Amino acid sequence: MTSPAAKGWLADFLILSAIWGSSFLFMHVAAMELGALPTAAIRVAIASLFLLPLMLAKGHGELLRLHWKPVLFVGVLNSGVPFALYAFAVMHITTGLSSILNATVPLFGAVVAWVWLGDKPSLSRTVGLAIGFGGVVLLAGGQASFKPNDSGIAPAWAVLACLVATICYAFAASFTKKHIPSLPPLVTATGSQIGATLALALPALWFRPDQGPSASAWWSLIVVGVLCTGVAYILYFKLIENSGPARALTVTFLVPVFAIAYGVVFLNENVTAWMLLSGAVILLGTSLSSGLVKLPGR
């Protein structure tokens, strides 16, 4: 019989996967009208407005004031730059492909932690790194055409944007571990969104569209800011608290399932067998490289 705690963890896990999977859909809808930088800037601004009152209500304002420099900086690296890159990517490749590439975050995280923090991987994790990067090569190779598509941008640039975004996430994780003390998750979440908002404000104004967005674009921005960023952060940290970081990390693996389904249903996107095969190789390598799965005897 499943315990209430296990049921609670499973419910949070599935809800968070579904929410983060939908972020690619909502970013696509907004970015097609506003462009990448304004979409990312409004997303983090809305998330900041949502999270700030919650943080202040918890009495954590002084903690953010004391540690604002590293917290705001990590927001640029963990939200500002990646969100802008993904908003650009979903304008030129499918949301499903973008989400599969996003699943490489733990893969790059293991490499950065190895090089920067000296966290040398075991043989099992090293094999996982090799398998995971092999999957990235397979997936990117199938999409790495530098011939412009209907949007005027070659898909290869969008694939590269996704990979750079995942590397940013990886550096942000190691930076947090090395330079940010043990702060309440709500402080880090709120401060990071404020930092991202400040970093993106001027570029977003410079590249703002000539015409105002439609109602559907505004609703997409509100949902991706409040639900996919603000609420998702709270759920993610709750998941870490209840089940540990290793188990919480596996949410990355289920996100593409939801993202691909949303893309097929709402955007009429095509899913190829090559995408699914490459994605499976990436997830296998990532699960090994992150230590979630180990080779026998290793």
Taking residues 273-293, report their average pLDDT.
82
Q: What is the Cα gyration radius of the chain? A: 19
Taking residues 248-276, report their average pLDDT.
86
pLDDT range class, residue 121, cuts 50, 70, 90: confident
d(CA 224, CA 230): 9
- The residue among 281, 286, 274, 282 whose CA lies nearest residue 94 is 274
d(CA 81, CA 30): 17
Give 28 or 5, the one with higher predicted confidence: 28
d(CA 125, CA 122): 5
> Please, is 32 exposed, middle or buried when counting C-beta atoms within 10 Å of its C-beta (0-12, 13-18, 19+)?
middle
Evaluate if pTM is beyond 0.85: yes
Tens digit of pLDDT for each residue in 129-159?
A: 888 888 888 887 665 555 666 667 788 899 9
Tens digit of pLDDT for each residue in 231-261?
A: 988 888 777 767 666 566 677 778 888 999 9
d(CA 135, CA 128): 10
Angle, in degrees to the nearest 10, between helices 251-267 and 4-34: 50
Looking at 17-26, 27-36, 106-115, 247-256, which range is the least confident one?
A: 247-256
Domain ranges in the chain?
A: 4-289
Q: Any residues with CB less than 8 A from the CB of 271 and at least 6 apart, and which?
A: 94, 96, 260, 263, 264
Whether 16 shows a pLDDT value over 50: the answer reads yes
CB atoms under 10 Å from CB of 245, counted, come to 9
d(CA 229, CA 20): 8
